[in-house]
Amino acid sequence: MSVNPLSTPKDSSLWQPNRSLNKLVEAGVKAIFATFAFISVATTIGIVLTLIFETVSFFEKVPIGRFLTETQWTPLFANQQFGIMVLLSATLLTSAIAIAVALPVGLLIAVCLSEYAPAGLRKWLKPALEILAGVPTVVFGYFALLTVTPFLQTFIPGLQGFNALSAGIVLGISIIPLVASLSEDAIYAVPQSLRNGSYALGATKRETIVSVVLPAALSGIVASFILSISRAIGETMIVTIAAGQNPRLGFNPLVPVQTMTAYIVQVSQGDTPAGSLAYNTIFAVGMTLFLITLALNIFSYWFVRRFREKYE
Amino acid sequence: MTAQDPKAFQNYSEANPNFNASLSDRYRLDKILEFAAWTATFFGLAMLVILLITVFRDGLFRLNWSFITSYPSRNPSAAGILSPLVGSIWLLITVALVSFPLGVGAGIYLEEYASDNWLTRFVDINIANLAAVPSIIYGLLGLQLFVRWMFPITNGRSVLAGALTLSLLILPVIIIATREALRTVPDSIRQAGYALGATKWQVIRIQVFPLALPGILTGTILALSRAIGETASLITIGALTFIAFVPELSLKGLQSPFTALPIQIYNWVSRPQPEFHTNAAAAIIVLMILLLLMNTTAIVLRNKFQKARG
């Protein structure tokens, strides 16, 4: 009579999974990981509550009308004025310059990588762009202040040591890889059959790219543009280092300005006691910044859902 | 319209601006687009090369052993980066210990456990949105939450407060990388595990996670290199810029004030004296080497695991 190998106590123990323990582990793991997932929600709630809490106490001291209509930004001086437009104009100026550099160049790089570059070269170009994307922004700030500004000064008379132009250009360079790699993903995903159909109708390569491939990838390209714009608006170190610390209303790119982010850095560097008015202002400015990027995100989300082309 | 009637052909092409009859004109425009695309690509690469060359030209001669082993100082030629470098390494380790388990756990939950309901979609949108929030906003959150409210735990503007802030900052990146890595594991592997009677957690732990690990590690290391280069949020939580000591290697060290490489670079760049700018360039070289080491590790790990899987 053969012996069932599983009948000995030692071996059969292998076949006695502890079911109640398993269930406990299963439920425990699920609960713990779910908690981790909700940390992201808690982060959002934390950001919103922090900003609202301090912003409300700011508006208790300064009426919102002054915040929106005054034309000077001098919360750290004796004659306090709180015109957010001053900081906003600088942020818009540097971002506009950055966008003017990054969107066309980034999109052209995406087209080049996806449509023109041979596969072997593409394999090298993409990591090179990733290196550019990984350069810390403080390094770009160094580059803007000590390389680009002196270079621009050789042919732009009246360009000051701190200026929005050079900060904006370098800010643009720093977000080129973001535009390029996200747009390239979208363009590369357009099926080859669409291109072939266009060629069969007698279109040239450029006509195919401009009137078939790019429209097909539109939602992805726009999403990459919007993400880059919100990156440009929220970028801090390049504009703090290279654009200066002078709050100034207007759109002159040759003189020092102070962006919203640069103001937050300026106040944070000093010793600002919690609860003081200066402490409140950085949260009010942060709130403005957060609302702008949130609006851009919502627009992007809506746009992608509305215009996404799906291909089998 | 026939080939014998050039007049009609011309009329047609005038009435339809989308149709350009002249093939040579069309090809000329083709050449212009191709030229512009290549020019843009070389512009991007040229900027990277110029940036690296400038920094090395400005700072390489300043880089020596005593620069690495000296504390920051008011005297630019005696100043070094010991405390910022150690601070950055402290941050790196702490951020990795905090963000890796949290991010990977959240990623596993969302990809493997969560059912596709409104709550999951809400968490999804929320994570995508967090990834686009400017880092300085995280700094404001860290200032309020970790520096002020959690003062008894973090002791204010400490390594721990900085590391927690940076962890929140890179958490969305790690979660997204984890989910993408888990998605590449074929479902047949999971089903094989269930067929053998394994529980869900056993399948994830033994079958799925090891296969997804290279992708997760790559994503995590790239996220950590972002944390190491991060400046704005650390300045906002008030990391001091002049620290002439090294946090001790213990739990107590977590509560000590700190500085980090990017902050020291910012400090030196924003001074008017050119000697400090040289120091900044030398510190940038060290930072870039640190980042290069991390990125190389990410790539080597990825390749090694991919070979093991094959």
The structural domains of chain B, with segments of one domain joined by +, span 6-61, 63-309
Of B18, B50, B201, the CB nearest to A25: B201
B102, B170 contact by CB (below 8 A): no
Residue bearing tokens 């190998």:
A5
Residue A71: is its pLDDT beyond 70?
yes
How would DSSP label each residue in A147-216? IIHHHHHTTSTT--SS-HHHHHHHHHHHHHHHHHHHHHHHHHTS-HHHHHHHHHTT--HHHHIIIIIHHH
Which two structure tokens, joined as six digits, stand for B306?
């991919």
Using a CB-CB distance cutoff of 8 angstroms, which residues of chain B are in contact with residue A261?
A: 134, 136, 232
Helices B23-59 and B274-309: crossing angle in degrees, nearest 10, is 110
* Domain assignment of residue A39, yes or no: no
Instruction: Give the residue from chain A lying closest to B131, CA to CA.
Output: A227
Q: Judge: B126–A143 Cβ closer than 8 Å, yes or no.
A: no
More confident residue, A188 or A312: A188
Q: How many domains does chain A have?
A: 1
pLDDT tens digits for A35-63? 999 898 899 999 999 999 989 988 888 88
State residue A285's pLDDT score.
Answer: 92
* Domain assignment of residue A299, yes or no: yes
**Residues 66-95 of chain B whose Cβ lies under 8 A from any Cβ of chain A:** none
Q: Tell me the C-alpha distance between A100 and A86, whole Å.
A: 21
Nearest Cα to Cα of residue A141 among B74, B72, B277: B277
* Domain assignment of residue A11, yes or no: no
- Is the entire prediction scored with pTM above 0.80? yes
Q: Across residues A81-99, what is the average pLDDT? A: 91
* Domain assignment of residue A60, yes or no: no
* Domain assignment of residue A5, yes or no: no
pLDDT tens digits for A239-295? 999 988 888 888 888 889 999 999 999 888 877 777 788 888 899 999 999 999 999
**How high does pLDDT run on average in chain B?**
85
B222, B296 contact by CB (below 8 A): no
The pLDDT-based confidence of B2 (bands split at 50, 70, 90) is: very low
Q: Judge: B232–A236 Cβ closer than 8 Å, yes or no.
A: yes
How buried is residue A60: exposed, middle or buried, by Cβ count under 10 Å (0-12/13-18/19+)? exposed
* Domain assignment of residue A43, yes or no: no
pLDDT tens digits for B125-149? 888 888 889 999 999 999 988 888 8
Instruction: Give the residue from chain A lying closest to B138, CA to CA.
Output: A47
Amino acid at residue number B178: T
B227, B92 contact by CB (below 8 A): yes
B123, A41 contact by CB (below 8 A): yes
Of B141, B266, B269, the CB nearest to A47: B141
- Residues in CB range of B118: below 8 A, 6 or more apart: none
Instruction: Give the residue from chain A lying closest to B59, CA to CA.
Output: A142
* Domain assignment of residue A285, yes or no: yes
Q: Looking at A231-235, A240-244, B94-98, B303-307, which range is the least confident one?
A: B303-307
Q: Looking at A95-99, A206-210, B182-186, B241-245, which range is the least confident one?
A: B241-245
B221 lies within 8 A of chain A by CB: no
Q: From the CA atom positions of chain B, what is the Rg in Å?
A: 27
State residue A269's pLDDT score.
Answer: 83
Q: Tell me the C-alpha distance between B262 and B230, whole Å.
A: 7
State residue B308's pLDDT score.
Answer: 57
A160, A256 contact by CB (below 8 A): yes
State residue A162's pLDDT score.
Answer: 92
pLDDT tens digits for B196-207? 988 899 999 999
How would DSSP label each residue in B59-106? HGGG--HHHHHS---SSTTT---HHHHHHHHHHHHHHHHHHHHHHHHH
- Residues in CB range of B66: below 8 A, 6 or more apart: B80
Q: Is 1.10.1200.10 the CATH classification of the domain at B63-309?
A: no
Nearest-Cα distance to chain B for A188, in Å, is: 15
pLDDT tens digits for B227-259? 999 999 999 887 766 677 777 767 777 778 888
Q: Looking at A3-7, A23-27, B119-123, B192-196, which range is the least confident one?
A: A3-7
CATH number at A150 reads: 1.10.3720.10
Residue bearing tokens 């000591």:
B245
How buried is residue A44: exposed, middle or buried, by Cβ count under 10 Å (0-12/13-18/19+)? middle
Amino acid at residue number A80: Q
Helices A218-234 and A84-111: crossing angle in degrees, nearest 10, is 140
Give which of B51, B176, B263 to mutate to test A binding, by max A Cβ within 10 Å: B51
How would DSSP label each residue in B135-202? HHHHHHHHIIIIIIITHHHH-SSBHHHHHHHHHHHHHHHHHHHHHHHHHTS-HHHHHHHHHTT--HHH
Q: What ipTM does this complex have?
A: 0.87
Q: Tell me the C-alpha distance between B159 and B256, whole Å.
A: 6
